[in-house]
Amino acid sequence: MTEKKRFIILLILLLLSVALLIFARGHLGRLAV
């Protein structure tokens, strides 16, 4: 695998992890009273 292809895969993973972070911070165990 070339470094460029690896970069693209890592970039996609980074975006996914940021999406996971936003989801987790927003929804994990939030108390709705």
Partner 1 sequence: MHKQLLSWRHANNFLTIAIVAICLYVIVPPIVPGVQFWFAERLGIHNSIQFPIYSLPATRNTKSTQKPRDNRVEIPSAHINELLVQGATTRSLNNGIWVIPHTSTPDAGSNTVLAGHRFMYTNQLFYNLDKVKMNDVVAIFWQGKEYNYQVTSITVVPPSAVDIQNPTEQSTLTMYTCTPLWTSKNRLVVKAKLIYKES
Identify the three-state secondary structure at position 13: helix
Kindly state whether residue 30 participates in binding partner 1, applying the rule CB under 8 A.
yes
Kindly state whether residue 1 participates in binding partner 1, applying the rule CB under 8 A.
no
Least Cβ distance, residue 20 to partner 1 (angstroms)? 6
CA pair distance 24, 27, nearest whole angstrom? 5
- State which of positions 8-27 bind partner 1 (CB under 8 A): 10-11, 13-14, 17-18, 20-21, 24-25
Tokens linked to 20: 């996971």
Q: Which residues bind partner 1 (CB under 8 A)?
A: 3-4, 6-7, 10-11, 13-14, 17-18, 20-21, 24-25, 28-33
